[in-house]
């Protein structure tokens, strides 16, 4: 008997052939038993009724002819069926083995980290097509996750490099006596460590939120009040930059939210709007009921976002103008956090802009309580 790899029982072809042989043997045995038990007596009765044979000898001769014809036809049928079983087993097992072989091969490729491996539909029916389809989706998903992971690590390393280099350079200057531990040096060191701490906190927050294990403490709250709190928290900063902050809050019923988290998400949107709106401009925070949703919008009259950047602003570490946005203190993670927080509440977030110089609008939708 042919055995599969690692001795895990016989091969698929052997099993299929064994199963078919079992069916064949059962069929042949039944035919044989029935034919030898009842065939000769029925034949004998018919012979007598028809009056074909006249003597005992003739009867015996005809009956022997019947018995050997029966034996020959059963044997020939058995051999033909066995040959057909062999051919069918060979054909199907080859086709199935080939397609399973492809899946097995693709699995080991994926296990080795080559996520671009795909399998074709083997053309063996809907179940195999579904298997191939799910398999390919799995590979795509793993590839996307791996790309995000790699990108995130690269971005994180990149973000850490600048403050670490600054700390390094200042410590070296202190050791060499080029600098002294005065308030200027301390400010630079503090701001670098502050930047690193914020980065660590932000990365932690976004990972927790995206994995869905962020502890939420949802309570039914008045939707407009939630927005009013976020607006009040930002008012001073708007005043000192000379940007007008409007609140257009309509009664929109209750939302079942964690006030701190939603406050953080709206705060991130309002901060961004302030950061990207020059003095003299304005930012409007609104709250209203749209269809079955509670919708918040943060609209500014500032820089706007070019259409090619819009789909990416919610990606972690994405900044439109890398150098300038970083200089303004952004690590490009605020919108990723806002998105994860809103989605953890069963809501959604979107961005629109009429283009550079024409302002941007960020809309948040939450399910009503
Ligand atoms: N209201 C806005 N107007 C124009 N551009 C915006 C606006 N909001 C966000 N952006 C762009 O989207 C990018 C991503 O925003 P995000 O809030 O994620 O990061 P950040 O503000 O740069 O940094 P962080 O929020 O982590 O401090 C920003 O760098 C900016 O280029
Ligand atoms: Mg931001």
Query: Is 191 found in the same domain as 61?
Result: no
Q: What is the CA radius of gyration of the chain?
A: 39
**Is 174 inside any structural domain?**
yes
**Enclosing domain of residue 204:** 144-211
Q: What is the CATH number of the domain that holds 239?
A: 3.30.565.10
pLDDT in the model for residue 337: 87
pLDDT in the model for residue 71: 84
Q: What is the DSSP string of 265-291?
A: HHHHHHHHHHHTS-TT-EEEEEEEEET
Q: Is 303 near ligand 1, meaning CB less than 6 Å away?
A: yes
The bound ligand whose nearest atom lies closest to the alpha carbon of 271 is 2
Cβ contact 261:255 at 8 Å: no
pLDDT in the model for residue 85: 83
How does pLDDT run across 249-296, given as a tens digit for each residue?
999 999 999 998 899 899 999 999 999 999 999 999 999 999 999 999
Query: Is 201 found in the same domain as 84?
Result: no
pLDDT in the model for residue 326: 66
Query: Is 327 found in the same domain as 244?
Result: yes
User: Of 178, 195, 211, which residue sits at a domain end?
Assistant: 211
If you take atom 28 of ligand 1, which residue's CA is the nearest one? 319
Query: Is 336 found in the same domain as 246?
Result: yes
Q: Is 334 near ligand 1, meaning CB less than 6 Å away?
A: yes
Query: Is 348 found in the same domain as 309?
Result: yes
Pairwise CA distance, residues 317 & 332, whole Å = 4
**Range name among 13-22, 133-142, 181-190, 216-225 with the lowest pLDDT average:** 13-22
Query: Is 227 found in the same domain as 348?
Result: yes
pLDDT in the model for residue 157: 84
What's the number of domains the chain is made of? 3
Query: Is 228 found in the same domain as 207?
Result: no
pLDDT in the model for residue 53: 60
Q: Is 277 near ligand 1, meaning CB less than 6 Å away?
A: no
Query: Is 348 found in the same domain as 224?
Result: yes
Can you tell me which residue has the tokens 């693709």?
106
pLDDT surpasses 90 at 58: no
pLDDT surpasses 60 at 342: yes
- Quote the ligand 1 centre to 44 CA distance (angstroms): 100
If you take atom 12 of ligand 1, which residue's CA is the nearest one? 313
Query: Is 244 found in the same domain as 194?
Result: no
Query: Is 162 found in the same domain as 298?
Result: no
More reliable by pLDDT, 8 or 360:
360
Query: Is 287 found in the same domain as 247?
Result: yes
User: Of 177, 193, 211, which residue sits at a domain end?
Assistant: 211
User: Of 178, 211, 244, which residue sits at a domain end?
Assistant: 211
Ligand 1 atom showing the smallest separation from residue 336 Cα? 18
Q: What is the pTM of this model?
A: 0.63
**Is 11 inside any structural domain?**
yes
């Amino acid at each position: 008997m042919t055995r599969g790899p690692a001795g895990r029982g016989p091969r698929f072809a052997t099993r299929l052939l064994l199963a078919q042989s079992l069916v064949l043997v059962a069929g042949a045995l039944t035919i044989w038993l029935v034919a030898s038990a009842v065939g000769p007596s029925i034949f004998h009765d018919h012979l007598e009724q028809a009056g074909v044979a006249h003597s005992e000898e003739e009867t015996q001769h005809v009956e022997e002819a019947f018995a050997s014809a029966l034996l020959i036809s059963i044997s020939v049928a058995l051999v033909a069926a066995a040959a057909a079983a062999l051919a069918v087993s060979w054909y199907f097992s080859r086709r199935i083995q080939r397609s399973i072989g492809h899946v097995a091969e693709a699995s080991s490729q994926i296990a080795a980290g080559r996520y671009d491996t795909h399998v074709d539909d083997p053309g063996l029916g809907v179940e195999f097509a579904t298997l191939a389809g799910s398999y390919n989706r799995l590979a795509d998903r793993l590839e996307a996750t791996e790309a995000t992971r790699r990108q995130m690590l690269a971005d994180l390393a990149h973000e850490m490099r600048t403050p670490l280099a600054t700390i390094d350079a200042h410590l070296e200057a202190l050791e060499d006596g080029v600098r002294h531990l005065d308030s200027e040096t301390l400010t630079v060191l503090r701001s670098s460590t502050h930047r690193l701490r914020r980065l660590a906190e932000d990365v932690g927050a976004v990972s927790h939120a995206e994995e869905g294990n962020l502890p939420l403490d949802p309570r039914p709250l008045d939707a407009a009040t939630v927005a009013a709190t976020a607006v009040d928290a930002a008012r001073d900063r708007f005043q000192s930059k000379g940007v007008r902050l409007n609140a257009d809050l309509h009664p929109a019923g209750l939302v079942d939210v964690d006030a701190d988290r939603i406050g953080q998400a709206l705060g991130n949107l309002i901060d961004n709007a302030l950061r990207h709106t020059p003095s003299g401009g304005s930012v409007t925070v609104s709250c209203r009921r749209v269809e079955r949703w509670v919708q918040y919008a943060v609209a500014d009259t500032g820089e706007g976002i070019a259409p090619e950047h819009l789909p990416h602003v919610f990606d972690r570490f994405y900044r439109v103008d890398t150098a300038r946005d970083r200089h303004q203190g952004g690590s490009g993670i605020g919108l990723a956090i806002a998105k994860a927080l809103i989605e953890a509440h069963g809501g959604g977030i979107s961005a629109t802009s009429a283009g550079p110089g024409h302002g941007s609008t960020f809309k948040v939708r939450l399910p009503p309580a």
